[in-house]
Amino acid sequence: MSDKRDAIIKAVRKEAGLFIGLLFVGLVLLPIAIYSVGQNIFGDYGGQGYGQFFATLSGRIRAGDTVAWFLVLSPYLGWQTLRLMALGWRLTARPNTPLS
């Protein structure tokens, strides 16, 4: 019973670490990338620079805006989608059978 419990605790810790790491990416690195790409492609942001952009985004997150939350959680959601696709690929894989 202890081995099973330890395995569950290890899996939960691994998943929590993954979530926290990808949440950091969504909260810190993704907005920087979005702002930089937007500046290079579309020109100046209508606010006072990156600080205003991040303040607007964080205000929307605190207000519960679903689009802002989707943006922040998109790295984790994308990773989970890839994991589900890999699981589906493994479950539908069939061993090579010779044609006769």
Is 1's pLDDT higher than 70?
no
pLDDT in tens, 12-71: 999 999 999 999 999 999 999 999 998 889 887 777 889 899 999 999 999 999 999 999
Report pLDDT for 49: 86
- CA dihedral in degrees (90, 91, 93, 95; nearest 10)? 110
Q: Where are the domains of the chain?
A: 2-91
Q: How many CB atoms lie within 10 A of CB 75?
A: 19
Q: What is the pTM of this model?
A: 0.79
Q: pLDDT confidence of 93, banded at 50, 70, 90?
A: confident
Q: Tokens representing 60?
A: 């929307």
43: left (phi over 0), alpha (psi -120 to 50) or beta: left
pLDDT at 44: 79
Asked if residues 21 and 74 have their Cβ atoms less than 8 Å apart, the reply is no
